[in-house]
Amino acid sequence: MTSPGKKAVGARLRAVREAPPYWSRTAMAQRLREAAAPGERAALPGVQSLATMIKQWEAGKFVPRPDYRALYAKATGRTELDLFGAYPPGPGDCWRGDGVTLDDTERLTLAVLRPARLDTAALDALATVLAGQRRLEDALGAAALLSPVAAQLTL
């Protein structure tokens, strides 16, 4: 099965949300929170932050990480395969071996969306990512990292 792109995943998420009985992004955010186990719910962002994340996911800028994919499936009554196809994990997953957690990835994503909310934990995660890039550059050469670094310059 071929993997759909981020835009295709986003379009599918939007179509599911807007299909009857139609949920606004805020209502979908509430459904995602309600789908989480009570112990997990406290760790989730608030409804407005989740609604912002849903907007980014539907625009194809990002793809939900695995824990959000499971919540989407539970909240919509569809399977993860129906919602996300065989889309691979996001690009931040290549840094997991260097100490960047799923929470760090989400923190960095939110820092991009709201730079004024940058905190020391996000800076620590960014330092870890940059150290990993430095090790990759030493191993592979600078040419291999030109494209990812150029994308970071934009941010």
pLDDT in tens, 84-96: 876 654 444 444 4
91-118: average pLDDT? 69
H helix runs in the chain, sequence order = 6-18, 25-35, 38-41, 47-58, 66-76, 80-84, 102-113, 120-140, 146-154
Instruction: Give the pLDDT score at 36.
Output: 94
Instruction: Give the pLDDT score at 92.
Output: 46
Residue 99: pLDDT band with limits 50, 70, 90 = low
* Model pLDDT for residues 21-36, shown as the tens digit of each residue: 999 999 999 999 999 9
> What tokens were used for 117?
């909310």
The CB density around residue 25, as the number of other CB atoms within 10 Å, is 19
Instruction: Give the pLDDT score at 90.
Output: 44
Q: Give me the residue spans of the domains in the chain.
A: 6-84, 91-154
* 20 vs 113 pLDDT, higher one: 20
C-alpha separations of 39 from 33, 66, 88 in Å:
11, 17, 27
